[in-house]
Structure 1
């Protein structure tokens, strides 16, 4: 960088002065010829005491200080005097700017080059220098203005395109940065470094599959390099492929010890590898390298937020066209003992209501039922591949108490496959009738999420439930989807889904129990990224469904929206609402609606 500025400075030094000037003192010239540079400066300064309004002589002193005495600050001071006596000389202001830059005086350099551009607004050299100096100052608006004005003068200026791409990246405008890099690389397809910068932008957009494709093409074209391997590790870490990412990090570590970017990638990979204690240690190392940087702060929030204790208040409302509604209000909390172990517990109150004549009233004709629960549990991660949890509690309603419990295991044998195996037992609180009859549900569920590559996800569920009224239920779900769009503000996945379930019989005990239900849908999942802390998701489904009571398929649809506000902040608000006319719910309602809100305080 310094050499770059010095070369520009030399070019300016070689330009002829624009002002007529008194003769240069002969004694000073003789001192220069004998390489007595300090003496020459002293002679010129003595002459200026008599007549300071000699811009060329001030400029000559600046040249000597810059190129012979290695005194950039002194050179800048001399040129500052020169421009006082030649205030409309754009060349002198530009030269002063470059001298300030060599002296590491960034704000002064920007002021001087601004004046040069003001005096000569169509000078491409000045505009380019203004863009570079403004970027150095962190003044992205001025830098962008400079490069855009440069493109008006020279529409095919590739370096101006590159400047726009970089500035937009630094200011966080990833969409504009991506477009500018694309345009630049059409002009300069062999710019290896710019390709790597472009890939970094695509990675930050969250388009990990495309970033990985671009990296593979980059290696084929330019050969393998530590930069390519480091960026590959970064993509894989954010794409939740920590095993490969950590292998690349370890291969690079011997040659890049104390490298901030490498440590950052290691921390993210350890987090997704379910190695929280090691992730915290890596975070400490990274923060030590750049303790006050925004990147370190964001990384700390990302790693530490899931490890914070919390308390949550929640309310849920569910209602359907079968005149049954359920309201639930509760509180729950988590206490993190250490990175691998946490205690959790909570309690809630459920109010169930059914209209008279709906068929879901209590056996005695009552339309309401209240149910209270309280529970306490523990979760412990035994290894990166296995976490176990269990909870026990008590449920009571209208004087009838019962033991409730849930057991679970999260299993991740490989990066691409995550499993959740659970068993729970509780009162089947879907209607006043089912609850008053004391129908108990023992649910056994296996949820699986398979991501064969970075574009496709296959979610599935297999369940088998038994009920205390000697009924059984089976269920299967399959929902493949593909990442279609990844931008700075919006992500979109599209796919298909199928749901199948059935019961042994329909005992008429206040819950929907078809012998077979099936539903198929085209699905879409969108997420609007308001900020790193806030976002809104929308899920849509549309397609046919039927059960054993229908002679043919009907068309159904559903839509749900969910807001996430404060994802990494102390206070976190989660709001969800949805409507569906698919039927197939717990009471078989053709139309149903849901509203849920949870407020969490982290500690």
Structure 2
């Protein structure tokens, strides 16, 4: 039986016994002394046919069925008759709840204990049992209500404090749950199991750095354990440190065969390790251990979504102080052949406009130009550390055609470092003049993202471009940032950025080409979580 049910039954068992009421048939008592329990029940039931309004006798039958005949459903039936004839006896309703609980009848058990609490709202034993049964029945609101009422009666009740933290967690109220756990641990700092529960909540908030800090403190205070290492592996998996996570999982696996928590962690770690086929296999195994649960459904969506064919629409608009504006509308689609390989393609239309006298109009003075593109490509992951992609397409601006292409490699030698090396060619659509002159840009770029720990990220870029008009361009970008806030609804990173670039010369071909340019800014990256699957991300930069 579930541990919460066991606790609820124990709580109900402390209710006082019934007072003596109408005489018990002597023949029934003799049958009991001879341990002829079925005969005793038959004698009592016969007596009740003549006078059913005997709640104590119904209760006696219920006790025999529960304790001697091991018939919890029959015990519950007898107690239902008892409460008909004693409708204001809270103790009988509590006992009926216990019988339904033993029979694994959760809704009926909760209905009975709800009635007991209604009759005796200040009874702490009934409130405690109601909280446990409601939580097991999935009625977290009723469980929370019970714990809150218990805390009114006994403000420092540790069981109610801990129950409140747990129910907040089950209801997805992570911030409230964390606060309740911290309040409990201030009074009970040596509760090792509760420490781990609180770390689970912090992990689900996405504050992986703080979760690791808490695990370090836990290890120093309570030492090593399988539960400690399991949670360490879980945090590392979600923090995109799959190598360390999978190493811990491999060491735990021989002693934790078919363990759901370990299988869940392995699946997440394999996904972040860029091993999609293995992640799918692990998901299939772990799903069998908890079929249909919300957590499995969420994990399935997390693993499968990046592996699904998809199509997206996009629109962009930009305008600069040079009086040049750009609008872009396009569509892009992916067809997933297998977990490692996908085809992709797309097309878009760009509209460029320059203000009169800006110097960025077409050579004939026209202020606008359109540019159409279409492309097709393929991406294939050769190994967890290397993925290659290439695309080929065509662009056209007022009848002038251009070959466009891109080749790239995503390289991840270690968990902390991700590299993207690419070369692409396209029309340099920064103004109507540049587009009409047919200026093509061949961009060679190395992007790097380094996360030395779970709080800091350093993004950088090195680039060298050549142009069809004989010009060259170099660029360096550096942008460190730090995670400042991780909460259930809002994340915030703050940082700084610097960018430097320059051209060999300024050919006056419709693009800004200084010998040297530098820009510095304070940056903020925000993310508002609308749901488990949706959110809004906004980045800000402020500088001279």
Report the TM-score, using the length of structure 2 for normalisation.
0.96
Q: How do 1:387-536 residues align onto structure 2 when only pairs under 5 Å count?
A: 387-536=387-536
Q: Is the 8 A contact 1:341 1:380 kept in 2?
A: yes
Matches of 2:436 and 2:384, distance apart in 1: 43
Equivalences for residues 214-225 of structure 1 within 5 A: 214-225=214-225
Structure 2 equivalent of residue 345 of structure 1: 345
Give runs of aligned pairs for residues 62-77 of structure 1, distance below 5 A: 62-77=62-77
**Corresponding residue for residue 206 of structure 2:** 206
On the 8 A contact 1:527/1:535 being kept in 2, the answer is yes
Structure 1: how far apart are the matches of 2:54 and 2:309? 71
Pairwise CA distance, 1:209: 0.8
Residues in 2 aligned to 1:327 and 1:83: alpha-carbon distance in whole angstroms: 74
- C-alpha displacement of 1:384: 0.5
Counterparts of 1:541 and 1:367, CA distance in 2: 30
Partner of 2:81: 81
Q: Take 1:67 and 1:188, find their aligned partners in 2: how far apart are those partners?
A: 37
> How far apart are the structure 1 equivalents of 2:333 and 2:48?
78
Displacement, 1:113?
A: 0.9
What is the Cα deviation at residue 6 of structure 1? 5.0
Q: Is the 8 A contact 2:273 2:384 kept in 1?
A: yes
Could you tell me how far 1:10 is from its partner in structure 2?
Answer: 4.3
The residue aligned with 1:127 is 127
**Deviation digits for residues 403-449 of structure 1 (CA, Å, limit 9, x no counterpart):** 22111110000000000011111111101111222222111111100
Contact preservation (8 Å) 1:9, 1:99: no
Match of 1:107 in 2: 107
Q: Unaligned 5+ residue runs, structure 2?
A: none
1:369-415 residue CA offsets vs partner (Å, 9 max, x unmatched): 22222222111111110011111222222332222211111000000
Deviation at 1:25, TM superposition (A): 2.3
- After superposing the two structures, state which structure 1 stretch, 487-496 or 500-509, moved more: 500-509
Give the CA deviation at 1:493: 0.8
Task: Report SS of the residue matched to 1:198.
Answer: helix
Corresponding position of 2:373 = 373
Any idea what the Cα deviations from partners look like across 1:120-156, whole Å, max 9, x if unmatched?
1111111111111111111111111111111111111
Shift of 1:77: 1.6
Deviates more, 1:457-466 or 1:250-259: 250-259
Higher alpha-carbon deviation: 324-333 or 275-284: 324-333
1:410–1:421 contact (8 Å) kept in structure 2: yes
Q: Which has the higher mean CA deviation after the structures are superposed, 441-450 or 280-289?
A: 280-289
Q: 1:103 to 1:444 in 2, by over 3 A?
A: same
Give 1:5 shift: 4.9
In the other structure, the counterpart of 1:11 is: 14
Instruction: Provide the C-alpha distance between the structure 1 equivalents of 2:38 and 2:12, rounded to a whole number of angstroms.
Output: 20
The aligned runs of 1:13-412 (5 Å cut-off) are 15-18=16-19, 21-412=21-412
Is the CA contact 1:392–1:405 (under 8 Å) kept in the aligned structure 2? Answer: yes
Shift of 1:347: 2.2
**Contact kept in structure 1, 2:455 and 2:482, CA below 8 Å:** yes
For 1:200-256, what per-residue CA distance to the aligned partner results, in whole angstroms no more than 9, with x for missing partners?
111111011111111122122222111111111111111111111111111122222
Distance 1:425 1:508 in 2: 21
Contact 1:458 1:478 (C-alpha < 8 Å) held by counterparts: yes
The answer (yes or no) to whether the contact 2:8–2:129 under 8 Å persists in 1 is no
Q: What per-residue deviation string (whole Å, max 9, x for no partner) do you get for residues 171-228 of structure 1? A: 1111111111111111222222211111111111101111111112212222211111
* Deviation (angstroms), 1:539: 1.4
Moved more, 253-262 or 489-498: 253-262
CA–CA distance in structure 1, aligned partners of residues 205 and 87 of structure 2: 47
* Corresponding residue of 1:556: none
Whether the 8 Å contact between 2:209 and 2:455 is mirrored in structure 1 is yes
In structure 1, how many angstroms separate the alpha carbons of the residues matched to 2:325 and 2:10?
77
CA shift at 1:367, angstroms?
1.7
Q: CA separation in 2, counterparts of 1:309 and 1:4?
A: 48
What is the Cα deviation at residue 3 of structure 1? 4.7
Q: Distance in 1 between matches of 2:49 and 2:325?
A: 94
Distance 1:480 1:445 in 2: 19
After TM superposition, give the deviation of residue 329 of structure 1 in Å: 2.5
1:357 to partner: Cα distance:
0.7
Between the aligned partners of 1:9 and 1:32, the Cα distance in structure 2 is 25
- Distance (whole Å) between structure 2 residues aligned to residue 454 and residue 105 of structure 1: 46
Check whether the contact 2:264–2:286 (CA below 8 A) recurs between aligned residues: yes
Deviation by residue 1:472-511 (Cα, 9 ceiling, x = unmatched): 2111111111111111111111111111111122222211
2:126 partner SS: helix
- Distance (whole Å) between structure 1 residues aligned to residue 347 and residue 155 of structure 2: 66
CA distance in 2, matches of 1:16, 1:409: 76
Is 1:8–1:98's contact at 8 Å kept on the other side of the alignment?
no
How many residues in Structure 1 have an aligned counterpart in Structure 2? Answer: 541
Name the stretch that deviates more: 199-208 or 252-261: 252-261
Residues of 1 paired with 2:315 and 2:55: CA distance? 76
**Counterparts of 2:103 and 2:188 in 1: how far apart (Å)?**
33
More displaced 10-residue stretch of structure 1: 107-116 or 309-318: 309-318
Shift in Å at residue 8 of structure 1?
4.0
Cα contact 1:5–1:102 (8 A) shared by 2: no
Aligned counterparts of 1:16 and 1:329: Cα–Cα separation in 2 = 77
Distance 2:351 2:50 in 1: 96
CA distance in 2, matches of 1:283, 1:191: 33
- Distance of 2:9 and 2:331 partners within structure 1: 66
CA drift of 1:106 comes to 1.1
Summarize deviations over 1:8-28 as a string: whole Å, max 9, x none: 45433xx2324x512222232
Q: Secondary structure at the match of 1:289?
A: coil
| 1-structure distance, mates of 2:9, 2:336 | 57
